[in-house]
Amino acid sequence: MHPGERFLRFLDNRRQTFLFVSLFLILIGARAVVINYAGNTTPYADEWDGEAANLLEPYLKGALTIGDLFHAHNEHVIFFTRLLTLAIFNVSGYWDVVLQMIANAILDAAIVVAISYALSRPLRGGWALAAMILSALVNALPLSYDNILLGFNTHFYLLLAFSFASLWFMADSRAWSPRWAAGVLFALASFLCMASGALTLAGVIGLHLMHVACGRRGGMREWLGIAALAAATVVLASLVPHAPSSDVYRAHSFRQFLSAVFELASWPAPPNLGALMALPSVLFCLRTFADRPALSDARWFNVAAFGWILTQFVAFAAGRALIPVENRYLDTLLIGLAVNMTSFFWLVGSDAARGKRKIWWSAALAAWLVIVAASLVRPAHPLPGSMDLRRQTADVQEKNLRFYLATGDASYLAGAPLMDIPYPEATRLRELLDAPELRAALPPELLSRNSPSNWVEAFKRTFLAQGYIWLGAGVLLLIAFVAREACVRQFGRSWHANSTSP
């Protein structure tokens, strides 16, 4: 092997590690900055019911059962969120929502990097790098600040993790194989995160039917596998809990449902551009189907990813048609945007886009990216004001809870405006605060005590205080990586030209 070729291979073996680390640092840095600025130790909203009343109180009383871990929270069975809450409670020694936020930030960063890499695999060269980098960077925007600042919302991140793990194992595996079985288990796990996880296997079914149609699957074994997946989907959908309090948000007509689907599909663009946003993925799926690649082809995973995104649109539109594009759903919608963008990159970089076609495809991609960038300004513009409001509101809520706990004066709760307490019902909040077990488990700041002096508190302070350092280090490492890639490619071209010259 020529020395120049060995050098290129040495760099290539480590290039992905540099890229993964840089993107991971950017993602956790962006989230650490948000948590450090607007995060608060005071539990908020759903955390009082989902964690305090239904988990920590029975746990502290010694009455928690396995069944309680599967207890419905609205329409969801948040089994894994509850496990993480208990783990963090035992690590911190108290109800530590800030450590939950940090755990979610680390988890989300790892998930986004992994999904971005998986989506970029069908692409080649610079297109693959651009797709992975942009997919991760667009997710670094703190658009879904509700999830970042609500430690309880781990299930939104775990839904992505388990669902895409299921797609990874099942996209290229034969029915009833060990990989297929692992994918089914991950799909079941996604149902134990959110109700929309019941449709994870529906995306897989759509993919496998495409395989059958193009001759890549067949026989009784495969058909029985598809039938089993369909039966499992029906069973999971039937197990979704009914929450009467959420009925007002549901789709009450087919027209309302379709309108919500179109609004979700068009995000971040206006609803009248919905078809334009999803068109790249539709064309990508049609091209993949026409090419009839082998099951091992990486494109099938991206087809499955687009199918899964569509199932989430269906679930969100059916259950939340009144406000389909909620802040807490933006993590999923950002992954959908990454799927569409990667599809467009593949279309432009494919062999079919040559000559004059290449110019037209490139112009279309540039226009599409401009529309996306301009559309992202809309949800990003109010972010500073929203962060300030969340910070100020949390400070007032913490003050009112601290004064009530110190004095027992109910006016700090019942007499306060609705936004000045962290739960919509003052009477119910007072009941929870007066429970001896829960009161003892509250964050030290609410009880006017000093935080424990241990490694957990030191880790939290360091992690949050260094947010800009994580972010800056990630950006510098990414710049160095991109510069190195450019140099390596130039060196490779020069070496190739010299080695082939007479």
Q: pLDDT tens, 302-351?
A: 999 999 999 999 999 998 888 888 888 999 999 999 999 999 999 998 76
The model's pLDDT over 388-446, given as tens digits with 9 standing for 90+, comes to 898 999 999 999 999 999 998 888 888 777 788 888 888 999 999 999 999 999 999 99
Whether 375 shows a pLDDT value over 60: the answer reads yes
- Is 159:180 a contact under the CB 8 Å cutoff? no
Place of tokens 């076609």: 357
Helix (H) or strand (E) holding 72, with range, is strand 72-73
- Is 401:52 a contact under the CB 8 Å cutoff? no
Quote the pLDDT of residue 4.
53
The model's pLDDT over 31-74, given as tens digits with 9 standing for 90+, comes to 999 999 999 999 988 899 999 999 999 999 999 999 999 998 88
Instruction: Report the C-alpha gap between 308 and 249 in whole angstroms.
Output: 22
Helix (H) or strand (E) holding 76, with range, is strand 76-77
Q: What is the rounded (10 degree) CA torsion for 238, 243, 244, 246? A: -110
Instruction: Report the C-alpha gap between 337 and 268 in whole angstroms.
Output: 8
User: What three-state secondary structure class fits 502?
Assistant: coil
Quote the pLDDT of residue 500.
43
Higher-scoring residue by pLDDT: 236, 485 = 236
pTM above 0.85, yes or no: yes
Instruction: Report the C-alpha gap between 310 and 167 in whole angstroms.
Output: 14
How many of the other CB atoms lie within 10 Å of CB of 345? 25
Quote the pLDDT of residue 230.
97
How many of the other CB atoms lie within 10 Å of CB of 149? 25
User: What three-state secondary structure class fits 73?
Assistant: strand
Which ranges of 171-253 does DSSP label H, i.e. alpha helix? 178-191, 200-213, 220-238
Question: DSSP letter string over 432-469?
Answer: HHH-HHHHHHS-GGGGT-PPP-SHHHHHHHHHHHTHHH
Which has the closest alpha carbon to 104: 159, 44, 151? Answer: 151
Instruction: Report the C-alpha gap between 484 and 492 in whole angstroms.
Output: 12
Whether 75 shows a pLDDT value over 80: the answer reads yes
The model's pLDDT over 220-253, given as tens digits with 9 standing for 90+, comes to 999 999 999 999 999 999 999 888 888 888 898 9
Quote the pLDDT of residue 5.
55
Q: How many residues can be counted in the chain?
A: 502
* Percent above pLDDT 90 for the chain: 65
> Per-residue b/e over 82-117, b at no fewer than 16 CB within 10 Å?
bebbbebbeebebbbbbbbbbbbbbbbbbbbbbbbb
Quote the pLDDT of residue 497.
45
The model's pLDDT over 86-105, given as tens digits with 9 standing for 90+, comes to 999 999 999 999 999 999 99
Quote the pLDDT of residue 498.
46
Instruction: Report the C-alpha gap between 102 and 29 in whole angstroms.
Output: 11
Both tokens of 170, joined, read 């099942």
Quote the pLDDT of residue 502.
45
Which has the closest alpha carbon to 311: 341, 344, 335? Answer: 335
Residues paired with residue 73 on neighbouring β-strands, in sequence order: 76
The model's pLDDT over 147-159, given as tens digits with 9 standing for 90+, comes to 999 989 999 999 9
The model's pLDDT over 207-226, given as tens digits with 9 standing for 90+, comes to 999 999 999 998 999 999 99
- Please name the residues in contact with 327: beta carbons below 8 A apart, sequence gap of 6 or more: 143, 144, 145, 146, 147
Both tokens of 31, joined, read 């989230």
Helix (H) or strand (E) holding 77, with range, is strand 76-77
Is the bond preceding residue 271 a cis peptide, omega within 30 degrees?
no
DSSP 378: H
Q: Residue 270: which pLDDT band, with cuts at 50, 70 and 90?
A: confident
Quote the pLDDT of residue 209.
96
First-residue to last-residue Cα distance in the chain: 20
Instruction: Report the C-alpha gap between 65 and 77 in whole angstroms.
Output: 15
Quote the pLDDT of residue 1.
53
Higher-scoring residue by pLDDT: 485, 121 = 121
The model's pLDDT over 163-222, given as tens digits with 9 standing for 90+, comes to 999 999 999 999 999 999 999 999 999 999 999 999 999 999 999 999 999 999 989 999
Q: What is the rounded (10 degree) CA torsion for 55, 61, 63, 65? A: 30
Mean pLDDT, the chain, rounded, equals 89
Instruction: Report the C-alpha gap between 400 and 345 in whole angstroms.
Output: 52
Both tokens of 255, joined, read 């027209």
- Please name the residues in contact with 457: beta carbons below 8 A apart, sequence gap of 6 or more: 451
Quote the pLDDT of residue 490.
62
Higher-scoring residue by pLDDT: 492, 159 = 159
Both tokens of 60, joined, read 């502290």
Quote the pLDDT of residue 496.
42
Whether 121 shows a pLDDT value over 60: the answer reads yes
Instruction: Report the C-alpha gap between 498 and 502 in whole angstroms.
Output: 8
| Inter-CA distances, 486 with 126, 129, 243, 479, 483, Å | 10, 11, 54, 11, 5
DSSP 195: G
Which has the closest alpha carbon to 142: 268, 37, 34? Answer: 34
- Is 98:34 a contact under the CB 8 Å cutoff? no
- Cα 104–423–144 angle (5° rounding)? 35
Q: Residue 10: which pLDDT band, with cuts at 50, 70 and 90?
A: low
